[in-house]
Copies of this chain bind each other. A is one copy, B any other.
Amino acid sequence: MTDADTTVQQLREAMQQFVAERQWERYHAPKNLVMGLAIETAELMEHFLWLDVEESRQRGNDPRHREAIADELADVCCYVLALANALQLDLSAAVEAKLEKNARKYPVERYRGRFEPD
């Protein structure tokens, strides 16, 4: 599976199948899953904790760290997929709506290269 040829739905189904095979749906309540997401996010964070912002870019390119970083990002992703499944929410529609909302909130001409309005 690669991002270019995998739909979000296919990823969600792969996650769903993993959970269903183990009958873990009863643990997959939103409250638990969002805690799991926070825990995995923290594990990803550990890779960058004491680094300067610029160093964190280099760390992301360092072959000695990339695999471990990808591993943590995958854990984060799995919880996002599990949340979408548990909540029966469409991630693509939600992201599309959010980007449209943010496009109005941060118009290009005022926010180019900055977070504070021009």
Contacts and interface: CB of A to CB of B under 8 A. Distances in A.
Interface of A: 1-12, 14-15, 18, 21-24, 26-27, 29-32, 34-39, 41-54, 56-57, 59-60, 66, 69-71, 73-78, 80-81, 83-84, 86-99, 102-103, 106, 108, 111-113, 115
A93 B8 CA distance: 13
B60 A81 contact: no
B31 A41 contact: no
Contact of A112 (B23, B35, B59, B115): B23
Contacts of A1: 92-93, 95-96
Contacts of A38: 38, 41-42, 45
B53 A18 contact: no
A22 B106 contact: yes
Given A18-B102, A89-B69, A94-B70, A48 B27 contact: no
A93 B11 contact: no
Interface centre among A31, A43, A53 (most CB of B within 10 A): A31
A92 to B, nearest CB: 4
14 contacts: A1-B96, A8-B8, A18-B103, A22-B106, A27-B50, A29-B53, A29-B56, A31-B56, A35-B35, A38-B42, A66-B87, A69-B87, A73-B87, A73-B89
